[in-house]
Structures are given as structure tokens and as C-alpha cells.
Amino acid sequence: MEIKKFLEEKNLNIGDYVEVTKIEDGDLVKYKGIIMPPYELSEGDTLVLKLDNGYNIGISIEKIKDVRVIERAKAKPEVHFKAELEKKEELPDVTIIGTGGTIASRIDYETGAVYPAFTAEELAKAVPEIFEIANVKTKLLFNIFSEDMKPKHWIKIAHEVAKHLNSGDEGVIIAHGTDTMGYTSAALSFMLRNLGKPVILVGAQRSSDRPSSDAAMNLICATRMAVSEAAEVMVVMHGETGDTYCLAHRGTKVRKMHTSRRDAFRSINDIPIAKIFPDGRIEFLRKDFRKRKNSEVWVDDKLEEKVALVKIYPGISSEIIDFLVDRGYRGIVIEGTGLGHAPNDMIPSIQRAIEEGTIVCMTSQCLYGRVNMNVYATGRRLLKAGVIPCEDMLPETAYVKLMWVLGHTQDPNEVREMMLRNYAGEITPYTRFDTYLI
């Protein structure tokens, strides 16, 4: 039986505080809690209760013996949301493209349920400050966790961004889950060609129902950056744990470095482009960023998906490389140890991969610093086998770049030339001393 039918038949409403009696291993067990609205995973035959301790549990309705209402949900006023607010002529236009993740959701304070929030009016209620900065329109493109993103999603986002930028927006913001935001920002950095306006990815480490949420300030800073002079793909997130400033990181140099801290995002081997203060001040930390210009952006979306990212670890088997080659992978990015190494007994497999036309690139799992494969014999052997050393590129940036490069050419010499050419700030000419752990 469908959950909606079950609620109707039992005369239950979302938000009712109830006691559910459930048959559990032949015994009767009681749970007290608030009935949550059905969401993606609870669709079908599961009743979701928010327990007094704040946790949600799902109870299969087949196992429910009885439901007793303790307190009815308070009636909520009907709210109709408009898609756009009144336009202020003096302000620039910005579109927020929703793709999912914590930032793209709103909390129903009565039930504690998380919904995607994406009309301008809902945002205006949640973060009214952004409407003082720009005429913000919203577009919910999809609503997925970022761990579920695939290259086809990057392409869809890129086309949506281009559409808005080429039809008058001064900047675009992409609300995105934080887990794989760095991959998407790298992909957009390579795919959006002739970019003349800011493209900002923003997320939240803590959902908007929590007092410590970073969602509102990140969105305010993202909006400020979206109307700024910097015409690059950037990630805007908290710069430190307090609500003092956000940082705008270059899309190819940024990484999520902490599972839960609000200042989880860091520029690696590079300094961020700007600091953005809640009062609206933007302090540019460097001068060498692409400036806003009048230009039509276009999407170069050719990606070769048969590319893998392989981390080296003591005990790794060269079978992993053999498997990828046998399965027709066109490119492999190795996240090597130290200066860019892999075990000696893997070299024959790597050599075979290259001989059979698979491109093999080397990055470092140290993340900080630059690969240098001339220092040790192992590195030299790998170079001799034809491995491409990827300078100071992040492993995930090199992975995305190799997909993009192989989408354009499969000629090994051209691939090498393109992998080592700097397209979007992914390679710095030398590693600045002051870029470590800031």
C-alpha cells in the first residue's frame, strides 16, 4: 500500500505527533514521533517518523499494528510561491542554478523535513540580503547529491550556465553539494570557453536548520562574487570557522579538505582569488585573474568518459592497470606517492598500457607541491615508459582535464601537449612558498 493512501485511510496528517505500534520480531514495539512528509527514499510503503531524539526512522507500513494520534499538526497557512520577484532596474541580473546538496534545501521547521527550496521567493525569505545585491532568479536544474554527479551532469550545468550568461545575466551561481564540487568546478573551468563573467559554485557544510549553518553567508558572498570583476569559475565557501569572511577559490585549484568544518574548502598550490566580507567588501588577493568582458561564452563539452583515477598504495596490484587497459580505458590518472611514484613492479603494466595507446598521467597524493619524476630511479623509469607528469595539478583536476583533452584528440603527442598547457589556472608556473596550508 502506498504511504499516501495509508495516511488518508488512517486519517493522519504530515506533522501529526503520533504513537506507532509496530510488530518487531513477533513483539509489539512503540515509537513516538512526528509524521514526516514522504521524500525520495521513503516513497512507497514506509512511514517516516521524526523521533523525540531528533532522528528519523522508517517503519514499513505492513508492520504497523496501530497508530494513535497524540497531537494534531498545527494547520499551516497555504503559501503560493512566485518564480520571480519584482525586478529592480538598478541591480544586475544573476541566476542561481540549483543542482542539489545541502544548500539547495530548506527545512520545514514544524516537521524537520528537508525539501528542495528553489523559488526566488523562498530564497528571499531565507536569505533576503541577496536581493539587495542582484535581481536573483532561480532555476532548479536537478536535485541530487553531488556524489551522484556524472560527467553528463557537468555538461548539463555548463549549457545552463552559458544560456543564462548569454542572455543578459551578469553572473551565475550554482548551488551544489560540497562532496564533489571541486570536480564540477574543474569541469566547468575547462568546458566554458571565452568566459567573460563570473561563474560561482556554492554549497553548505551545515544545513540551514542548524544554528551553525554556513548556507546564508556563503550564498551572500557568492552573490557578491557573481557581480564582481572576476570572470572565472570559482568556488565560494567559508574562509574560516567564524562568520568573518568567505574565500573565492579558482575552480581548478580547490579541494574539500575536511568532512565537516565550515572552512573545509582550500586552494591547493595556489592562493585564493578573493576574500569576501559579509559587509560586501571584496579584497582581491591576486591580480592575475580573468577580468569581466563582453563576450559570448560557448561550451566545449566533448569528454571521453573512459578515464580512471587510480590511487597508489603499498601492496597495490598491477592487475588494476591491466584491467583498465583490457576494458578499453583511454586514459589513467595515477595519484602517485611523493614526487610521483608507483611501485616498480607496476611499471611493466604501465608500459603496456602506454604501448597500447592508453594515456597515463602522474599526479601526487601529497596534493601539495609538484611532481618531479627526475629525482628517483622509479620516477625516471615511469617517465621513460611515457607517463605524463602533471606538474602541480590536483589529481581530480587532472582526471577531469584528461577526460576533456581525450574528448578532443587521442593522439599521444597532442594529449601530452594539451595536458601540460595551462587552460584554466590548473598549472601554476612555480609553486609559491605561501600556498601551503592556508
* Active-site residue list: 102, 178-179, 256
Return d(Cα 287, Cα 120) in angstroms, integer.
Answer: 34
Complete DSSP assignment for 305-371:
--EEEEE--TT--THHHHHHHHTT-SEEEEEEBTTTB--GGGHHHHHHHHHTT-EEEEEETT-SS--
Minimum CB–partner distance for residue 247 and ligand GLU (Å): 17
Minimum CB distance to ligand GLU smaller for 178 or for 358:
178
Figure out which of the listed residues 15, 33, 98, 101 binds ligand GLU, where binding follows CB under 6 A: 101
Minimum CB distance to ligand GLU smaller for 122 or for 322:
122
Q: Does 178 bind ligand GLU (CB under 6 A)?
A: yes
Minimum CB–partner distance for residue 177 and ligand GLU (Å): 2
- Report which secondary-structure segment, H or E, holds 233: strand 233-238
Q: Does 179 bind ligand GLU (CB under 6 A)?
A: yes
Applying CB under 6 A, which part among 140-148, 309-317, 365-373, 402-410 lies near ligand GLU? 140-148
Cell of 307: 578515464
Interactions with ligand GLU, residue window 186-205 (CB under 6 A): 203
**Residue 102 DSSP one-character state:** G
Applying CB under 6 A, which part among 53-61, 100-108, 192-200, 285-293 lies near ligand GLU? 100-108
Return d(Cα 412, Cα 133) in angstroms, integer.
Answer: 48
Cell of 419: 595536458
**Residue 291 DSSP one-character state:** B
Complete DSSP assignment for 397-423:
HHHHHHHHHHTT---HHHHHHHHTS-S
Q: Does 147 bind ligand GLU (CB under 6 A)?
A: yes
Cα distances (Å, whole numbers) of residue 24 to 17, 51, 178, 188, 395: 21, 17, 38, 50, 48
Minimum CB–partner distance for residue 186 and ligand GLU (Å): 16
Interactions with ligand GLU, residue window 212-271 (CB under 6 A): none
Applying CB under 6 A, which part among 175-183, 304-312, 356-364, 412-420 lies near ligand GLU? 175-183
Minimum CB–partner distance for residue 46 and ligand GLU (Å): 21
Q: Does 102 bind ligand GLU (CB under 6 A)?
A: yes
Q: In the chain, how long is the greatest CA-to-CA distance?
A: 75
Count of other CB atoms within 10 angstroms of residue 314:
6
Q: Does 171 bind ligand GLU (CB under 6 A)?
A: no
Using CB under 6 A, count the residues that bind ligand GLU. Answer: 10
Torsional sign, CA 102, 106, 111, 112: positive
Kindly give the pairing relationship between strand 274-276 and strand 388-389: unpaired
For 132, residues 6+ apart whose C-beta sits below 8 A from its C-beta are: none
**Shortest-Cβ-distance residue relative to ligand GLU:** 177
Q: Does 182 bind ligand GLU (CB under 6 A)?
A: no
Figure out which of the listed residues 145, 313, 323, 436 binds ligand GLU, where binding follows CB under 6 A: 145
Minimum CB distance to ligand GLU smaller for 177 or for 395:
177
Q: Does 40 bind ligand GLU (CB under 6 A)?
A: no
Minimum CB–partner distance for residue 39 and ligand GLU (Å): 14
Count of other CB atoms within 10 angstroms of residue 394:
26
Minimum CB distance to ligand GLU smaller for 201 or for 387:
201
Q: Does 146 bind ligand GLU (CB under 6 A)?
A: yes
Figure out which of the listed residues 98, 151, 177, 331 binds ligand GLU, where binding follows CB under 6 A: 177
For 344, residues 6+ apart whose C-beta sits below 8 A from its C-beta are: 378, 381
Residue ranges that bind ligand GLU, judged by CB under 6 A:
100-102, 145-147, 177-179, 203
